[in-house]
Structure 1
């Protein structure tokens, strides 16, 4: 099974293939092990010029390169069309495109109707072999565009502003798969194996189809309050009636005690119950997060599911036997072994303006009792201004920091920190190991060039907050000792006691190299379906949803 990505979120993710279907990875591996398919009914191209390939309707440079590669390796023979009739593979591909709607894809992106009409017209008259060759190219281009989208998604611009979203590279050779497909292969099953093959993706697809098939009119009314804190028993406002209506639409008992536009205990209790289902503190206050969920329409849910299925395709890669998932909008970390979640914990991620990047990396080292070398941006934007405003050059020295410049230790009293030219100088602030160190007593070192890693923290109170976006971009973990143990337990007799000893009284900067390969995916999933078939929606804390939905509009 493709151990792809996104196995997210506690309690709701049993990341496994549907047992009634073929194992996707084994199916694709079996196809790749074959010889290139040959059939004596194929037709050899009379025109193999560059121009003949550039005439295709789909304009995609990557697809064009793969198209030429395919036919070169295929001996410039047709693959989908024979002299007297289309191949069974062609009819299978038409079924694939019809089914693609269930995954939020548009069949017309891949020219479904045009290809069907083209082939029907071709065989309804005396065969024009030039037209047949071109039609075969068009079908192949369509197939290669679809498989590209399944392997790496459709949206090219993932990052926006200061928010970083690094795409993963497609590691699958779709040309090789097409070369080795046989006429008897069930192409629907083969293409299903090219999707992210995990239960979460399937659940999302099923919920997406369910919502699209629901023809009941959506009567949600947008509710807004200028001052939500006034929403108490006896408060009268025209929007109260709309809120009562929305809660009723969502299945809550809201029969008014006095009037529909007056807040009462029945309405407050219904609102609190609704908040509980969204992991919001049940305080009965219709704040921004509460109203975001209360105002959510069926159409918005459909769009969010479509977008998040797309995000899964961006990360359609093999994560190995042991891996970690951080879902940034859910503020959670999950540890997996062979697709079974073995642990989860809360995390703190970056603030909106110092957002945690979305990317895939690997954990290579665990370091106990680390020092912290402060990034230059924090030194110049936060620490030096604080020293100046408080007129205390020794502020950070008192907290255990040592200051260096050009490799030499610096007396902070010898520097004029108020000098406007100070930004041109490169200081190094290094915090000594201790329980008060900003990284806590252990950090988990990744391989990226963005200085992003996971670490302990002395600020444990933040883990009890609903929304936990407070860091400068790195990920703070709630249970650092447990995470260290899970990563190290299979090497050198690392027990929980040994981990505790390393953190509390072991040597400083004790770096342990992991023998096992642990991939970690820092993901951004705002909508999914849990094991109870409940749609879960989280806040778009970095504003990716609207930007990426706009990008997807091109394909509608």
Structure 2
């Protein structure tokens, strides 16, 4: 709590003097008159400061009968402390009238209104985030699933009772937010202390190497906590303890954990601490967007982490690796419900893939291509076409008029099962024959759909949750029939596709995930830059 009330002592002396005079002398009539003097009954500016939440400000004072709230010094002290603490939440204290509220010459009525607007704005930002994800990312559909504790009646009651600290604390997200916040504070502190040394370019470093670059690497990994100071051996020797530290660093940065410091590992090592702090700040905001949106039970696809998790009451009860969309074909971020599964699926090749990627190969050897890939050539109305009847010399990728459909089987691009949640993006979860790709640390290989490792385990779990009788033996028997078989879920499963580029894992390790689709910079710009972070690049490097 020391941080919460830092800088409050000096301010408190002024507020104690103020309490029994100017603010205490405000009457409801004085406040009401101020609202009556403005067009539309919404105050848009106070003491040359823009009011951030004019409609909510009006609603709260109407609910309170225009009684003043800030005639108690402890409330103003608490507000001041929370405004300062906003920076520790990855928000900007200047968004909450920090400078104006600290001015001793501010008129009592102006102070009253600015303090209320600061409180309301801070409450909204803590509960749901400052940036509007709907504006940043078209298609965003993560609406709150429960009633937010932000109604004018609730806000008025909190202000009237004076319990603003407890209320603001309750608004903070749960789950991984606290751990991510601690990581943000640590990396911000590291940045302000000068960060870590940069590793100069040179040949790859590995076990047994010696030299000054090894000594720099050792210091770098000690600063970030990947190497314990007690494990430090000979400074310039790449020993086994240093190799283990490199592997830890590589794992939490989604790099090949081979213990060798090559080009990509050196690039990740040399990302400045300030940029990592900014990355953590962005993801604190993303967690605020999601706080009231996530249900108790759901599937969670963490796109930059290449991971699928089944969540029950905040706990992970099952997880699997996934492959997601390449940067050119990003997996969309949205939520829906899985309503049915399809065993032994066919794959109707999307028109863009058929024209751009497959048609040039098809025209070279039509019959052979279709046979090798177990595909049928169809007319737009679904009639099978004999490739021998087509004049392929007249066919180009641009005018390719046919549909390609892959038959069920072990080589089908969708594997043995797909999980359907019909949506405007035409994406879904599915099995894949490309199992070897799951061993890669970064798995952005698809055209947007999500390929799931251990897909039959997921299918069995979903079906078991919908009723008894679905064991692995029954599923294998169904697959052996070779026929396409849809199975409707009696209880659809919510699925959330999320974009989080930093998190703290179950062991307390900070994960820095690749910003696959270059979205961190947009969020950081929307948050606004604090003076101490002006040097942080707005578009974070692909790490």
The TM-score by the shorter chain falls in which range? 0.7 to 0.9
Instruction: Please tell me whether residue 270 in structure 1 is matched to residue 256 in structure 2.
Output: no
Name the SS of the counterpart of 2:465 in structure 1.
coil
**Superposition TM-score, scaled by structure 2 size:** 0.78
Cα 1:367–1:50 shift into 2, 3 Å: farther
Please state how far the C-alpha of 1:201 moved relative to its aligned partner.
Answer: 0.3
Instruction: Please tell me whether residue 403 in structure 1 is matched to residue 377 in structure 2.
Output: yes
Alpha-carbon displacement from aligned partner over 1:492-513 (angstroms, at most 9, x marks no partner): 3143235523652357342223
The aligned residue for residue 32 of structure 2 is: 45
Please state how far the C-alpha of 1:532 moved relative to its aligned partner.
Answer: 4.2
Please state how far the C-alpha of 1:476 moved relative to its aligned partner.
Answer: 0.9
> Which protein, 1 or 2, shows the higher relative CO under an 8 Å CA cutoff with sep ≥ 6?
1
In 2, distance between residues paired with 1:428 and 1:555? 54
Alpha-carbon displacement from aligned partner over 1:183-216 (angstroms, at most 9, x marks no partner): 2252222122222222x10112223334445698
Pick the aligned partner of 1:346 from 316, 321, 326: 321
TM alignment of 1:323-342, pairs within 5 A: 323-342=298-317
Please state how far the C-alpha of 1:440 moved relative to its aligned partner.
Answer: 1.0
TM alignment of 1:202-217, pairs within 5 A: 202-213=178-189, 217=193
RMSD in angstroms over aligned alpha carbons?
Answer: 3.5
Pick the aligned partner of 1:441 from 410, 416, 422: 416
Name the SS of the counterpart of 2:292 in structure 1.
coil
Residues 315-324 or 40-49, more deviating? 40-49
Instruction: Please tell me whether residue 94 in structure 1 is matched to residue 80 in structure 2.
Output: yes
In 2, distance between residues paired with 1:59 and 1:174? 21
Residues 355-364 or 506-515, more deviating? 506-515
Name the SS of the counterpart of 1:403 in structure 2.
strand
The aligned residue for residue 383 of structure 1 is: 358
Name the SS of the counterpart of 1:439 in structure 2.
coil
The aligned residue for residue 115 of structure 1 is: 101
The aligned residue for residue 322 of structure 1 is: 297
TM alignment of 1:154-553, pairs within 5 A: 154-156=130-132, 166=140, 168-170=142-144, 172=148, 174-176=150-152, 177-181=154-158, 183-184=160-161, 186-198=163-175, 200-213=176-189, 217-218=193-194, 220-225=196-201, 228=204, 231=205, 239=213, 242-247=216-221, 249=223, 250-251=227-228, 253=232, 255=234, 260=236, 266=238, 270-279=242-251, 280-388=255-363, 390-392=364-366, 394-407=368-381, 408-417=383-392, 419=394, 423-424=398-399, 426-497=401-472, 500-501=475-476, 504-505=479-480, 508-553=483-528
Cα 1:362–1:285 shift into 2, 3 Å: same
Please state how far the C-alpha of 1:112 moved relative to its aligned partner.
Answer: 2.5
Cα 1:428–1:80 shift into 2, 3 Å: farther
Name the SS of the counterpart of 1:352 in structure 2.
coil
Cα 1:141–1:413 shift into 2, 3 Å: farther
What are structure 2's unaligned runs of at least 5 residues? Answer: 1-25, 532-543
Cα 1:95–1:489 shift into 2, 3 Å: same
In 2, distance between residues paired with 1:428 and 1:194? 52
Please state how far the C-alpha of 1:79 moved relative to its aligned partner.
Answer: 5.3
The aligned residue for residue 21 of structure 2 is: none
Pick the aligned partner of 1:77 from 47, 66, 77: 66
TM alignment of 1:124-135, pairs within 5 A: 132=109, 135=111
Please state how far the C-alpha of 1:166 moved relative to its aligned partner.
Answer: 3.1
Q: 1:96·1:187 contact (CA, 8 Å) conserved in 2?
A: no
In 1, distance between residues paired with 2:135 and 2:239? 41
In 2, distance between residues paired with 1:214 and 1:178? 37
**Superposition TM-score, scaled by structure 1 size:** 0.76
Alpha-carbon displacement from aligned partner over 1:281-329 (angstroms, at most 9, x marks no partner): 4434323442244224433332222121111112222422311112222
Name the SS of the counterpart of 2:199 in structure 1.
coil
In 2, distance between residues paired with 1:521 and 1:59? 36
Name the SS of the counterpart of 1:353 in structure 2.
coil
The aligned residue for residue 6 of structure 1 is: none
In 2, distance between residues paired with 1:141 and 1:224? 50
The aligned residue for residue 45 of structure 2 is: 55
Cα 1:78–1:204 shift into 2, 3 Å: same
In 2, distance between residues paired with 1:213 and 1:401? 58
Cα 1:432–1:220 shift into 2, 3 Å: same
Alpha-carbon displacement from aligned partner over 1:314-355 (angstroms, at most 9, x marks no partner): 222242231111222221111112222111111111122222
